[in-house]
Every structure is written in C-alpha cells, then in structure tokens.
Structure 1
Amino acid sequence: MRFLLISAVAAVVAATGPSASAEPRGPYSISGSCGGLPKVALHTAPGLCVGLVATGLKFPRGVLPLKDGTVLVAEMIGWGAKSGRVTALVPDGKGRYAKKPLLKGLKQPHGLALGPDGKIYIGVVGGVKRFDRTDPEKTVEDVIGGKTTVKGPPGDGRHPLVSLIFTRHRTLLVNVGSVSDNCEHANGDPPQADQICPETRAPAGHGLVREYEFDWSTGKAKGWTVFAEGLRNSLALAEFPGSGLILQVENARDNINDVMPELENDEALPPDEINVLEPGGRYGWPYCYGANIPSPEYLHWNCTGYHPPLIPLPAHAAPIGMAYWNGGLAVGYHGYRKAGHRIVWFPIDGDGKPENQPKELVFDWENPDGAPTDIKAGSDGALYVTEDHNGTVLRLVAE
C-alpha cells in the first residue's frame, strides 16, 4: 500500500513554504484556509495542509478525536503537576472550536483512549481513570491503581507517564517507563556489568508494557501480566485493525557518550526504534541497543535472543505519537534536537508492518519549533496532532 494523497510523480517530498501574506494566529502564522480551518504556514508534503484547531493549551499530550467532531485533549500542565485536565474542543461548524473543561486535578494525564464500553480512558501517573463524557465529574473513577485493588504502574523515575491502547481482544496495554536513563545508579555510577538491572525485576518492574484484562460484565480490571519487556519508554503504541499487529516506538537512551569517551557527542547514537511487539517478547533495554549491540555498560552481555528493531529511527527523534493513517503509519518526532520537529509517514504491508521508506509529512518545523506529541486519525480522514511546545492542536488533511 502506498501513499494515497501524494502522486507517484511527487514521490520526492517538496516544501510548501509560508506565504508572504501570512498573518500571526497564536504562535503560528496563518495563510488562507485548510479544511475549513485557518491554514498554518508550515512546510508539508505536496497535497497536504495543516489547519489550526486550538491554541492556548497547557502542555497538551493525548488527543482523541470523536465521531461527532469533538476532540478531547489531555493537558498535562507541566512535569510534576497534579493539576492536569481533560478538555473537549467542540466544533461550532464555522471553523472554530470552543474549549469545554471536562476534568481537572489529574496527575500528569497523558494517554487517551476510547474503551470498548464507550467510556473515555485517561492514563495518569500511577494508574488509569475513566469517565462518561456526558457527565465527567460524576462518573470519573479509578480503573487501575488509585482506589482499586489492581495495581497501577509505579509512576516513579524519569519516565512516569502512562500511554495506553485497547487491543482487539479488549485488553489494555499500558506503558511502564524506566526509572533511569540506562540503569545507572541514582548518583550516576554505572550498573554492575554482569548483573540484571534491578529496576527491571518483577513484580514492579520498569521498562516494559503491561497487559490488563477486564471483566466486561462488570467493567472491572482483573489484573495484569507483562506483555513485553526491555522497552525503555513506550510512549506510542498502535494496533493494526486487520491483523492485530502491535507496534511500539522506543525512545532510546541519552548521553551514551558519557560511557563511550571515543564519541564527541550522542547526536548519532543510539537510534530510536519502531518495534513489533510480541507477547512475551524481550527487546534488550538496558543491556543492548539498536540491532542487538551490547551497551557500553554491558559490553560482554549476550544480546542474541532479543528482538531487534523493525526500523531504526534517527537518534533522539523522540517519537511519542503514532497512528495508522492514509494507508500507512504516521509517527510524530517530538525531539528538540535536529532530528525532531516533524511528522513522518511509512508505507505498510498488508499486515500493517511498516517499511523503511519514510516520507516527511510536516518538516522544517521551525519559528516556532514544533514538538508533536500524540497523533490520532479521525473518522473524518484527518490526522489530529497535539503539539506541546506551542500549546496547540493541529489537523493534517489533503488540500
């Protein structure tokens, strides 16, 4: 399956630069209209444009477009904050969206998902909550962690945010990010080279994806198992509807040059990754990186038997949003380094497995720098994008 919105003649991505007559709208310049919304003056692949849905959001992360046109957004507010909220962006039919607060007082809300029961599920540090959007404040309840008997993710360390997706088996996959960068001690000392990394040990291990099962007759979570391990931080997960293939994008370690003095910096290593997740799969963190290469802290570790990445991505691209869209896989590169600030599209095969032939959908995203967080496909065929650096929600469509 190939890129449907861009003709074969335009296979090489070209820039459509900002118009000289563009006018500022919030952090961005606006030039004309895109799908009935103000057109953001960004560089896009031919045949595409970016519309401005909303500005003035505070650290927006998860996004969830609903069938009635409403777009839900998880506003994290800031790191360490316990004042996060869920906001509904309600279209008025005239190219504008009204902000409607739904929930507040949440601890760093991140992932958003529509459950099999029709309720909205929101990942917060340490657990998962859900609510009925008809009356969020009265229906909000803990599903995992909090006041339930089912333990949630530990919610500690460098990577406490909760991403989540429901599978076709009506189970819930939940990210449990690592405490550390690469299993270093709290004082910065390296780990013991011949020992299992302590933070990965059960029962409250880190650097993995949990699978929670539910009793849907009552709607209660029953418990969890480890779905896959050796994954430093799985902030984006996706399932291909046809085959049930599960994809994960891995935010690989930083500062590898601190333990590889021959490197001038860590700009090129290690690669971030797209992985195919299999139940019981082991993916190597913190012992191995890239194509099963021993980490410098674990030079004598046997890396055979771990799943290598399906596709290596640029180092520090920081992919934290991913969605099947327009016959392929769209991935948002959030990173603040040169590899970030863009949305990239990969063609897929019939099972939903991406091929390493990336095309840039939004690129040279500068002045202001773009930092895409979550991305989701809407029932209207558009790709909805939260962008936390400038506090916006954007909509990518065909011109």
Structure 2
Amino acid sequence: MKTSNALSLMRRAALATLLLAGGAHAADTCGGFKRLDVTTPDGLCAAVLADGFKFARGIQPLANGELVVADMHNWEPNQGSVWLLKPAAGGRYDRVLLLKGLDRPNGIVLGPDGLLYLGLVGRIVRFDVRNPQATLRDIIGGKSDVAPLPGKGRHLLTAMRFDARGDLYVNVGSATDHCEGENGAAPDPGQPCAEAEGPQALGVIRKYRLLWPMAMVKGWEVWASGLRNSMALALHPATGELWQADNGRDAIQAAMPELANDNDLPHDELNLIERGANYGWPYCYDANVASPEYPQRDCSGYRAPARLLPAHAAPLGMTFYTGTRLPAMYRNSLIVGYHGYRAHGHRLVALLPDSKGAPLGKSVELIGNWQSKPGQGMGAPVDVKQGPDGNIYLVEDRTGRVVRLQVAAP
C-alpha cells in the first residue's frame, strides 16, 4: 500500500513537472516563434521572425505570407541588400538574397502595379520580387529621365508612400540639424535658411505624379515644406489625408543656457500635411515657438503640429491599422515606431482615433520595456507595416530583428 501511494505521488509530480515545462515553453513562444522579451497589452505578444540582419530599415509584407526586408548594412555607400523571407516548416523563414550592392536602401513599398519600390540615396527603383535583377529599373534618378533626389548631408535617406491615385510622396530630408553652418556655427538670424527655401528646398515632402502602368514620372512639386525629416509617412484609410511624424532637432540647449540638456525639448511632431503649407523648420519648433537661433521670428504664419510627440522619440515608420486581427480598439489607429535611444524611444505605440477619426486620441504602448537585457539588445524600430493577415510587422536596426505583433494564443 505504501509502495502504491509512493508511485502515485511520483506520477503526479512527474505530470506536474511536464505541465510546468509545457507552460514555460508556451510562455517563451508567440505564434510558434520565439517571443520577444518586452511588455505588450494583455492578449498580445511580439514574435521574433528573423534576426541577424546588419541594419534592417524597411519591410514589406506580401499577400502570400512572404516578407521583403531592406538591409542598409551600414552607413557606407553601396553595401545594402534586399532579402525575401519565405515561411518554412518549424517556425522559421528561409532567406533568399534578391539584390545587393545598393546605396543605403531604406523605404520599401508595394506599388499599385504589384511591384516593389525601393528608396536609395538619390534614387527610387522598382523591381519584381520574382525576377529582381532582370526587372530592376530606375523611376527617379539613376538611369531614368528624372532628376535624382538631393540626398545631401544629415538626412539623405529616402522614405515614400503612394496615395490612392498612384502618386508618390517622397521625403527630402534637411542637410543640417537646424541650418547650422560649418563646424556647427549658428545661422544668421537676419537671413533665411538657404537650404529651406526655393524650388530645390530640403526639409520638404515632394509629390511625384506618375503615369500608369509604366510608373512614368510626369512631374513633381514641393507639396509641403519646413519639415526637418519626414521618415514616417502614412495615408489615412478613410480620408486619404497624408500624415507625417517629424523628427525634432538636437542640442537645442546649446542655444538655450537655461536648459541643462535637451532630453525633453524640442518635441517631435505629428503633422497633418496640406499642399503648400510650411511647418516652420528651422525657424520654429513645438507649437510655433521661435527657435533660439531665430528669436524674433514670427511663427504665426507656419502650420502648427496636430500633436506633439515625446522629445527625441524619433518616429521613423508608421501605418494606419485597418485590420481586424488585433483588438477592435486599435482599428484606424496610427501605429508608430519610436526609434530613438533616449528615454522616449525604443517602443511601438498606437495613437487611437479621436471622435473625428484623426490620430489624436489616447496613446497606447504596444511594445515597451524594449531595453538591453541578457541575450537581447535594445530595440530600435524603423519601418512599420500592416500585413495582409492583419498583424503588424516591423524591423529594427539596432539588433537586426524582424518582429510581428499579434494576438497571443490562449
């Protein structure tokens, strides 16, 4: 009798151990992939789909479940590449090299023709994912008949988005931080900032008119100006309005001795972009406050931000969520990746819609606590896209991971 009881206790203990082990294993996975060690809202998890990229900057989910990733590699010219990730058995993706030797690839989007459009320094190219080498063609710059993008100075990377008509909005970032001169010399407050003025201005969004199906550029214009660096662009799903998240300047404390540092100033911005509007860079910051280098500037004529974002959050990618896979509260919210390495960066947030559908409601943290930990570096999200499956896909360039935000299995 004692032997039987002892065996029964041993069996129960073994079963409990197996159950605990299974629970621990489940807690370490997300949709069959390794779970990223971060905080997410209840019911959601972040899966690591792939890692080991050098400097992943762009992602485009495809209808068949494949992913295309643009890897800049580093800041040196002609080191970048584009990869195809194909779902495979056992919770992994197979990698196929599509293109290499590219000049700092960053933005990648799916065009109205089903082809991929890739932003390089000074150029935009398109290609067919099934035959990339043979179909690679310049749309802007390169061997096209269209003048190259400026690609100058501090903000030379290309980001872009197509609107519903197939026209292309393209970021032309500023060459400087705040129009400083050589060796960081302060600009002359009595003179306009040369790089921010005129038809070839930097710190603008250009709109290129395209003729389809050839994707032929028929002309372009400066759509909006006074925008330091428009890496994060998104079209509202209901109104078609263009929204932009601007990266604020650095080192403002150098011109404002009353500040100990620039940790909380200036704010980054969320702007509703309107044709012909000027948003104030480099003359004004925050809600139309004169920059310390231009203390007498009248900022009332510039377009104020629709929303102030945390200082140095560095939004580099965003998308409106139109799917049904995530909880209903996130529908039509603007999902933004905060790339910055300071206190407000390294996270993913959802800006919920207000009563009019604009992304001006509550900010909800979707991925947080993305700090450096044993076996996992700090996250620095860049491109953010919604997949055809209704999940959110992103790449981050600090540890080279591809991440999927999804509903956790019960």
Q: Offset of 1:369 from its aligned partner?
A: 1.0
Q: 1:134 deviation in Å? A: 1.4
- 8 A contact 1:150–1:222 mirrored in 2: no
- Count the aligned residue pairs: 374
Question: Aligned partners of 1:350, 1:117: CA distance in 2, in Å?
Answer: 35
Matched, 1:394 2:403: yes
Equivalent residues in 2 for 1:123-162, closer than 5 Å: 123-162=119-158
Percent identical residues: 46
Q: Which residue of 2 aligns with 1:37?
A: 33
Mapped contact 1:314–1:339 kept (Cα < 8 A): yes
Give the secondary structure class of the aligned counterpart of 1:281. Answer: coil
Tell me the equivalent position of 1:180. 176
2:58 aligns to what SS in structure 1? strand
1:311–1:356: 8 Å Cα contact kept in structure 2?
no
Amino acid at match of 1:329: L
Higher relative helix content: 2
Aligned partners of 1:67 and 1:351: how far apart in 2?
31
1:77 aligns with 2:73: yes
How far is 1:21 from its partner? 8.4
Worse-matched range after superposition: 185-194 or 171-180: 185-194
Secondary structure, aligned partner of 1:43: coil
The SS at the match of 1:254 is: coil
Matched, 1:382 2:387: no
Superposed, 1:166-315 pairs within 5 Å as 166-315=162-311
Q: Distance in 1 between matches of 2:157 and 2:216?
A: 22
1:340 pairs, out of 345, 366, 371, with: 345
Structure 1 or 2, whichever has the larger Rg, is 2
Q: Deviations over 1:124-155 (max 9, x none)?
A: 00010000111000110110011112123211
Match of residue 319 from structure 1: 315
Q: 1:351 deviation in Å?
A: 5.9
Distance 2:296 2:278 in 1: 18
Report the Cα distance in structure 2 between the residues aligned to 1:345 and 1:398, rounded to whole angstroms: 15
C-alpha distance after superposition, 1:343-381 (max 9, x if no partner): 111111476411241111111111221111111000101
The yes-or-no answer on 1:365 pairing with 2:370 is yes
Correspondence for 2:325: none
Counterpart CA distance in 1 for 2:145 and 2:130 is 27
Q: Which amino acid aligns with 1:133?
A: V
CA contact (8 A) 2:113 2:213 kept: no
- Distance of 2:246 and 2:363 partners within structure 1: 17
Distance of aligned partners of 1:21 and 1:277 in 2 relative to their CA distance in 1, 3 Å threshold? farther
Q: Which runs of 5+ in 1 are unaligned?
A: 1-19, 23-28
Q: Distance in 1 between matches of 2:121 and 2:110?
A: 19
Residues 50 and 402 in structure 2, CA contact (< 8 A), matched pair in contact too = yes
Residues 248-274 of structure 1, C-alpha deviation per residue, up to 9 Å, x if partnerless?
Answer: 000000000011111111011000011
Q: Which runs of 4+ in 1 moved over 6 A?
A: none
* Cα gap change, 1:243 to 1:86, in 2 (>3 Å): same
What displacement does 1:40 show?
A: 1.8
Residues 324 and 350 of structure 1: CA distance in aligned 2, closer, same or farther (over 3 Å): farther
AA aligned opposite 2:218? K
For the residue of structure 1 that corresponds to 2:86, the secondary structure is: strand
> In structure 2, what is the Cα distance between the partners aligned to 1:21 and 1:237?
44
Q: Distance in 1 between matches of 2:159 and 2:93?
A: 26
Q: Does 1:56 align with 2:52?
A: yes
Structure 2: segments with no counterpart, 5+ residues:
1-19, 322-329
Q: Which of the residues 75, 85, 91 maps onto 2:87?
A: 91
- Tell me if structure 2 keeps the 8 A contact 1:61–1:74: yes
Query: How far 1:203 moved relative to its partner?
Result: 3.2
Distance 1:387 1:30, change over 3 A: farther
Hey, what's the Cα distance between the residues in 2 that align with 1:332 and 1:187? 32
State the alpha-carbon separation in 2 of the partners of residues 202 and 222 from structure 1: 21
CA distance in 2, matches of 1:351, 1:97: 40
**Hey, what's the Cα distance between the residues in 1 that align with 2:58 and 2:388?**
17
Measured against aligned partners, the alpha-carbon deviations of 1:78-115 in whole angstroms (never above 9, x if no partner) come to 11331101111111154210111111111000001111
TM-score normalised per structure 2: 0.88
Q: Mark the CA change 1:218 to 1:362 in structure 2 (over 3 Å): closer, same or farther.
A: closer
Query: d(CA) in 2 for partners of 1:135 and 1:397?
Result: 31
**Matched residue type, 1:40:** L
**Contact kept in structure 1, 2:248 and 2:269, CA below 8 Å:** yes
Instruction: Identify the range of structure 1 (142-151 vs 119-128) with the bigger mean alpha-carbon deviation.
Output: 142-151
Shift of 1:38: 2.1
**CA-CA distance at 1:226 after TM superposition:** 0.6
SS of 1:63's equivalent in the other structure is strand
1:353 matched residue in structure 2 = 358
Structure 1 residue 229 displacement after superposition = 0.4
- Separation in 1, partners of 2:358, 2:76: 36
RMSD (CA atoms): 1.7
